[in-house]
Amino acid sequence: MEKRYVAIWFPNLVTDWFEQHQPELKATCFVLAAPSHGKMIITAVSPKAQALFIREGMALADARAICPALLHFDDKPALTTTLLKKIANWCIRFTPTVALDPLGGIMLDATGCAHLWGSEATYLTDVLNKLKAKGYYARATMAGTIGAAWAVCRYGNKEIIEKEKQLELVLALPPEALRLDPKTVDRLHKLGFTQIRNLVNVPAASLRRRFGAAILQRLNQLMGTEEEYIQSIIPPEPYQVRLPCLEPIAHLKGIEIALERTLGDLCERLQREGKGLRTAYFKGYRIDGEVIGVQIATTRASCNIRHLFHLFEPKLSTLQPELGIELFILEAAHVEDYTPAQEGFWKEGSALTNMAIAEFIDNISQRIAPGSIQRYLPAEHHLPENSFTKAKALTEEPSTEWNTSYPWPVVLLETPEIIEVTAPVPDYPPMNFRHRGRLHKIVRADGPKRLEQEWWIAEGEHRDYYIVEDEEGGRYWLFRLGHYDETKKTSWYLHGIYA
């Protein structure tokens, strides 16, 4: 696929922002200025002030000699970067790959995007019109290389550059279009290199010796003989489906249709690649610039469109489209290997590999709370609270066997709770214990079973566990921490409850 890039330049970015916040400034001449070497130097000029030949870098006093009514405001050094980042994030609706131009603009990788708008001209017009509606005057150019798009956007007068005409257009541009430092550009002009075409026939060795390697790199990038890449401000998800809308969608039915279409495209791709979805995020970009969305998670990797739609469906009503959503994006943030054989409901095998069981768990979890249903696997540790771990997936295989040599309690407390005991005897359980204010008289007991922490993990005293039964038939799992000692009080704990 032929590469296509869009360079966007904002000649009056900061002054446009001031006019948005103070509309009365549109009819006046104003500038931004900052102190430098004892005097105020202009850093940004409004369009009306530009018409009077007031320029950046001019002293404020000289500008006021030209226009006595000139207004000035203190420069905001970080404002340009802040505005560019905000606009770049907004431009995600036009392409997944948006980058900041270090020289004060935005670069879009529009490869494969323009056809969604019908044509490249329509695509570019939509970008510029929506920026204008936000109050920003911008220039934009689409070309086959980043260098050509940037150069013509700043120093040319054409918006769409066809591949066969690109070389002819860029050769006529001045050396400033090569994105070189000002000193190098000044030397080129002094030597008579007023156009890029003057440089192409000069031997590479001579250019490198006089101007450094940067000029050769920029020439090659401009012509497309050296690849140049842009780094998106938001790295795109590997599995993502975009659905731009011809008209803003403001109704729930339209949102549901968008979800069905994006789910269909995403699941088709996942199936081709043998993948299944575990977590997904459905986002809508509103025309006011806000981004809204909902997220789901599955117990097992799934490509079942109907099932995934049902997981999203209860949450769609929480979306607030306001005046309308102009772009939908469905992202699969987490995918896993998946084979259709996992979906056999009536086939023999473990219920854990049954797709219908996994989908049932997903449906229940979405109605209670995500992650509320868990599966646990055995872990190779002695202490009961460390002897199991949460499974990352429904089909995850255990690394060891469950310890069934001892009757473990049905309910294991997450943290053992201290209890008060009376009449403790060495190597025997107490006669009674008090837990949360309630006294339990022990009538039967079994034990002890000694457990202790692994020495390579942490130091600590051993535990002697007892299964005890009180006079009401309740059965509990108690332990004494450390050896019995008549000279000091021994700590006893309740750790579990039997059925």
Name the token pair of 483.
Answer: 């050896």
| CA dist., res. 255 & res. 292, Å (int) | 12
Q: Phi first, then psi: what are they for 342, rounded to 5°?
A: -70, -15
Spatial contact of 260 and 345, defined as CB atoms under 8 Å apart: no
Judge whether 110 and 184 are in contact, CB under 8 Å.
no
Contact between 337 and 274 under an 8 Å Cβ cutoff? The reply is yes
What is residue 352's predicted lDDT score, i.e. its pLDDT? 55
Check whether residue 196 and residue 130 sit in a common domain.
Answer: yes
Two tokens, residue 279: 């977590």
Give residue 164's pLDDT.
Answer: 85
The two tokens of residue 72 are 């000035």
Number of domains in the chain: 3
Q: Same domain, yes or no, for 141 and 8?
A: yes
* Distance between CA atoms of residues 190 and 126, nearest Å: 41
Order of all β-strands in the sheet with 71-74: 39-45, 30-36, 71-74
Note whether residue 276 is domain-resident. yes
Q: How far apart are CA 472 and CA 414, in angstroms?
A: 25
Please identify, among 201, 236, 271, the residue that sits at the C-terminal boundary of a domain: 236
Q: Which of 236, 262, 278 is the last residue of a domain?
A: 236
Contact indicator for 169, 185 with CB cutoff of 8 Å: no
The answer to whether residues 202 and 136 belong to one domain is yes
Residue 416 in any domain: the answer is yes
- Distance separating alpha carbons of residues 209 and 490, to the nearest angstrom: 85
Quote the pTM value: 0.61
Q: Which domain holds residue 443?
A: 411-497
247 shares its domain with 279: yes
Q: List the CATH number of the domain containing 290.
A: 3.30.1490.100
165: CATH:
3.30.70.270
Helix (H) and strand (E) counts in the chain? 14, 19
Do residues 451 and 480 lie in contact, with contact meaning Cβ atoms separated by under 8 Å?
A: no
Amino acid at 155: Y
Statement to judge: residues 170 and 277 lie in one domain? no
What is the Cα–Cα distance from 429 to 478, expressed in whole angstroms? 8
First vs last C-alpha separation in the chain: 66
Same domain, 268 and 203: no
The torsion angles phi and psi of 275, rounded to 5 degrees, stand at -115, 160
The DSSP-derived string for 106-163 is EEEE-TTTGGGGSSHHHHHHHHHHHHHHTT---EEEEESSHHHHHHHHHH---SB--H
Residue 104 lies in a domain: yes
β partners of residue 302: 277
Same domain as 251, residue 181: no
Q: Which residues of the chain have pLDDT under 70?
A: 339-354, 370-371, 423-424
CB neighbours (10 Å) of residue 328?
A: 24
Cα→Cα distances 40→25, 36, 70, 385, Å: 21, 6, 14, 69
Q: Are 478 and 419 a contacting pair, CB within 8 Å? A: yes
Question: In whole angstroms, what separates CA 329 from the centre of its chain?
Answer: 13
411-422/492-497 β-pairing:
antiparallel
Closest CA to 336 of 283, 376, 298: 298
Strand partners, 478: 466, 494
- Maximum distance among all Cα pairs of the chain, rounded to whole angstroms: 107
Per-residue pLDDT reduced to its tens digit, 287-336: 888 899 999 998 888 888 999 999 999 999 999 998 899 999 999 989 98
Q: Is 219 exposed, middle or buried (0-12, 13-18, 19+ CB in 10 A)?
A: buried
Q: Are residues 286 and 434 in the same domain?
A: no
Query: Do 155 and 104 sit in the same domain of this protein?
Result: yes
DSSP code, position 273? T
Annotate 263-307 with DSSP letters as a single string: HHHHHHHHHHTTEEEEEEEEEEEETTS-EEEEEEEEEEEE--HHH
Does residue 424 fall inside a structural domain? yes
CA distances from 455 to 381, 383, 449, 458 (A): 11, 12, 18, 6
Residues 302 and 268 in one domain: yes
- State the burial class of residue 209 (Cβ atoms within 10 Å of its Cβ: 0-12, 13-18, 19+): exposed
Judge if 257 and 193 occupy the same domain.
Answer: no
Is the separation of the CB atoms in 452 and 444 below 8 Å? no
Asked if residue 396 is part of any domain, the answer here is no
What gap in Å lies between CA 136 and CA 289, rounded to an integer? 14
- Does 60 reside within a domain? no
Model pLDDT for residues 229-284, shown as the tens digit of each residue:
888 888 877 889 999 888 889 999 999 999 999 999 999 999 888 888 999 999 99
Q: With respect to residue 165, please indicate whether it lies within any of the assigned structural domains.
A: yes
Q: Do 114 and 1 sit in the same domain of this protein?
A: yes
Cα angle value 91/97/99 (rounded, 5°): 75
Specify the amino acid at residue 26. Answer: K
Q: How many CA atoms lie within 13 A of 129 on its CB side?
A: 7
Q: Indicate whether 371 belongs to any domain.
A: no
* Domain-terminating residue out of 325, 360, 395: 360
